[in-house]
Copies of this chain bind each other. A is one copy, B any other.
Amino acid sequence: VGVRLGAEVTSLDLDNNQVALASDETMAYDRLVIATGTEARQPDIPGQDLQGVFQLRNLDDAVRIRSFLEKNGGRRAVIIGAGFIALEMAEGFSLRDMAVTILYRGDLPVRPFGPVIGQQIKDHLAEKGVDFMSRTKPTAIEQTAGGLAVKTDQGVFEADVVLTALGVRPNTALAEAAGLELGAAGAIRVDEFGKTSRPGVYAVGDCATSRHRVSKLETWLPLGDVANRQGRVAGENAAAGDVRRFPGVVGAQCFKVFDLQVAKAGLDEAAAAQSGFEPMAVQIKGLSRAGSYPGAQPLWIEMCADKRSGKLLGARGVGAEGVVERINIVATALFAGLTVRDVGWLDLAYAPPFGGSWSQIQIAAQKLEGKLG
């Protein structure tokens, strides 16, 4: 494998199987794999090029932020946005003993995880001393004598470092200019082999679509593990001629913010209804360990199923421990297409340090089974 670092691709000539570089060279290919990832969404406000204003897209960004802090010794961080990158960075700045303020246009963090999880995270941030300013819309970032100021419709927030974390969109400029078909969320449309709309051209990772095994719809899930799997599939296929199918995703994801684990898999009620299901959901409050075992922590799980078929559609949860464990049971069950009649009676490894003799996953599924009638 030849690696050309610093080789900036300026255009793709798919008719002639050639790639044009900024150095005016062209490179011929038999198979082309596009892995251009994402680009950060920018807030539509002035001041983003000021010193001390950052995004976090990759390792280079992380190193830049740390170097800046080590050199300038910032004490106050303002984060614009409230997705899981924003939350992870709030924890990161706090662990450096910085005062952290999150500015968010909406009400609660991580909207795709729903309001119950959002509220628990908001409360947890407050416990950890992070200021979460909801319904706060930044209008400009400005340089001041003492550092930076983020102006908003709710007042001015002073900072030594500002992170904009408004999420990402697929980086498809080259693909689009070359005429490749785009799909969900504007990502490059690929089939189960990772192939784009042009023969011999593959796309993988955060710039490409994938198939959702629950909704059966094309989706876009820019997550590291999905990208890894897609890359493996397209690589095998580009080399050996479409030998492996990507089996699709179930939307499993998780993150940690301070002492909370947060995870979800599959569809929530709104997404399920949009996908043509007749969703119903139950919410379970439980404990991470058997009640008799020391150190049990509160745990909250929501599970969603289709009223017509009993099919498990998704779940999400939050708590101090055991959440990822429980949601990965759901992720596996979703992948296998199980119904709540199955999930309620799974045989799971049980011992008091890890949960009760009925997992909240089984309890939620049985409750849903009871609603099937």
Contact = CB atoms under 8 A, between A and B. Distances in A.
B256 A354 contact: yes
Contacts of A263: 349
Given A256-B354, A325-B325, A354-B256, A348 B331 contact: yes
B353 A224 contact: no
B357 A225 contact: yes
A250 interface: yes
Contacts of A324: 325, 349, 351, 354
Identical copies of this chain, number: 2
B347 A213 contact: yes
Given A342-B336, A354-B324, A347 B249 contact: yes
A138 interface: no
Interface string A326-351: 01110111111110001001111111
A89 interface: no
A122 interface: no
A252 B342 CA distance: 16
Contacts of A337: 336
A332 B346 contact: yes
Nearest to A289: B256
Interface in A210-258: 213, 223-226, 228-229, 246-256
B353 A256 contact: yes
A265 interface: yes
Nearest to A324: B354
28 contacts: A223-B350, A225-B347, A225-B348, A225-B350, A225-B357, A228-B357, A229-B345, A246-B345, A250-B347, A251-B347, A252-B347, A253-B349, A253-B350, A265-B349, A324-B354, A325-B325, A329-B329, A329-B331, A329-B332, A331-B347, A332-B332, A332-B333, A332-B336, A332-B348, A335-B338, A335-B346, A336-B336, A336-B342
Given A225-B358, A253-B349, 19 more contacts: A213-B347, A223-B350, A224-B357, A225-B347, A225-B348, A229-B347, A248-B347, A249-B347, A252-B350, A254-B350, A254-B351, A255-B351, A265-B349, A324-B354, A325-B328, A327-B349, A328-B328, A329-B331, A332-B336
